[in-house]
Each structure stands twice: as C-alpha cells, then as structure tokens.
Amino acid sequence: MRWIPYDARLWLHVLLLLATLLTTSAAGARIAHNFHHNLPAFRLEEDLLAILDPIQHPELLLDGLPFALVLLFILGAHEFGHYYFCVRYHLNASLPYFLPAPSFIGTFGAFIRIRSIIYSRNDLFDVGVAGPMAGFFVLVPCLLVGLWNSRVIPGIAERGDMIFGEPVLLVAFQALIFPHTPSTDIALHPIARAAWVGLFATALNLLPIGQLDGGHILYAWFGERYQRRSWIFLAMLIPLGFFWWPWWIWAAILYRLGRKHPYIHDETGLDRRRQQWAIAAVVLFILCFMPAPFRYAE
C-alpha cells in the first residue's frame, strides 16, 4: 500500500476547501443566530440576505464554525473513505473537491475524481461502500452531540418557511434524548443540523442508480443483472416526486447521465463478507432516507 500521492492541483483543493469553510461558516452563523434566538432554522425572506452579514461583520463567522466544521468533517470523511481505497488499490484518484455555494447550507457537497479504470467488482464495491460508511461513522456521534445540545420549543418546526423531513435514525435518536416529545417541538442545534445535512447527502449517494455510490454497490453486487434493478429504482423516483417534486429532477438527471455503468473486466462476484457490507449499506440507506426532505410550510 502506498500513502497519499502527490496531486499537482493541491492548491486548488486547498482553495476550494477554504472557500467552502467560509461559505458554510456564513450559513452556519445564521443557523446559530436563529437557534440562540429560539427561531426556526430557516426563514426564507429574513435569512436569504442575512447570510451575507459576515461580509460586514466577519466575527459572525466564529458562530458558524460548529456547523461548518461538523459538516465538512462529515463530507470529508465520506470522500476520504473513497480515496483511501483508491490509494490502496493503486487507482489514480484526486483529492476531494469541496464545492462552496451561496446557499442556506453553504455548499453543494464534495467529490473525488477517479481517473483509473476499475477492473474488479470487489475493488469497485470497496471504493463505493467506503464513502457512505466512513461518513456515517463520523455522522452518528455528531448527531448525538448535536441532539444533546438541542432544546424543546413548542411548535418550532412548523414556524419556519420550510419543514424538514426526519429519517428513521433521527427519529430514533430524538426519542432517546427527548422521550415523549413531538419532533415538531425540537429545535436542532447547529451541530445536529449539520448532521441532518449529512444524513440527506448519505441517502442521495446511496440511491442504487448509475454513477452514485449506491449504483456502484448495486453493480458490484449483481454484475450485469444490475441494469434491470437500477431501472426499477429509477422508476420509483417518479411516485416519490408527489411527496417532494425535486425527485423528478433527480430522475431526469439520472435517466440522462446515470443509467449505464462502466464495464468491469473481472466479473468475480462479491465474497460473503462484502455481501454482508452490502446489506449494511441497504440498512444505512433506510436509516437515512426521507421521502420528502423539505416541504414548504402552509
């Protein structure tokens, strides 16, 4: 095994990371402000321009660091999970590219670029499953710490412009820390909010379609039988769109770009241990998935 290879674009990775730290800190500062003032996490009209407040008051960025650092930690763990196995299997892969964005969470996520051909289904599986698993192992303690620092405010979830979905894992942890408390009465701490974004990103990546992590896992598991199963999961996004219309956009994008999978030369199937990890990935997807991640309050 060799360690991290030299990347000629190291400066670009560092620049994007710093830019994403800046934008996520700006977004986190507003989330922290709302939390400390017993306000909903996001209020469209009030918060859209308020995200720019750190330009005039840079000290506000410090308030956003808990959200930003936790979110980047989760996203980074996910990408470095992929990267670790790329290095282990001598695949030519880039360091993570973080994507800054002027949005309510401050980022469009992160990705690595794999330039090599992956010859083995076992190698493809290890690279694909490592990201979600690594991100999840980081996410769980962050979610618990964030929920421990959250607070009960009656009706807080329904007072904002957006109501957030609740994956199974979040519901279970909320019941553990806030027994007999309706989820609509729980104001999530910025750290828990960052973990929620991580749950959402994990679920998206584990969709068993095309070039997503879930698509790689599905192909590695079933080989050429992958195609029919992938079509089924792609079709399931259509009825889900009635719960959250962006699923239709995802369906269109994945139909256009993600239906086919690169050919794998070594078609040897997964061993028993990897099949168990594949089942664990399915369980992880169920724990993180939300039919309607967001909906507008009426």
Q: How many CB atoms lie within 10 A of CB 106?
A: 29
List all residues 6 or more positions away from 146 whose beta carbon is below 8 Å from its beta carbon: 70, 188, 189, 190, 191, 192, 193, 194, 195
- Pairwise CA distance, residues 254 & 263, whole Å: 18
Tokens of 202: 């994990």
Tokens of 168: 């199974």
- Pairwise CA distance, residues 52 & 197, whole Å: 21
Helix (H) or strand (E) holding 108: strand 107-111
Give the strand pairing for 97-100 and 107-111.
antiparallel
- Pairwise CA distance, residues 220 & 229, whole Å: 13
Query: What pLDDT is attached to residue 168?
Result: 96
Query: What pLDDT is attached to residue 254?
Result: 84
- Pairwise CA distance, residues 180 & 27, whole Å: 31
Query: What pLDDT is attached to residue 1?
Result: 42
Q: How many CA atoms lie within 13 A of 15 on its CB side?
A: 4
| 3-class secondary-structure state, position 208 | coil
Which of 238, 235, 260, 257 is closest to 247 using CA atoms? 238
List all residues 6 or more positions away from 218 whose beta carbon is below 8 Å from its beta carbon: 208, 209, 226, 229, 230, 233
Query: What pLDDT is attached to residue 265?
Result: 73
Tokens of 129: 């499953």
Q: Which residues of the chain have pLDDT under 50?
A: 1-3
Q: Output the pTM of the full model.
A: 0.91
- Pairwise CA distance, residues 230 & 221, whole Å: 12
User: Where are the domains positioned within the chain?
Assistant: 10-206+279-296
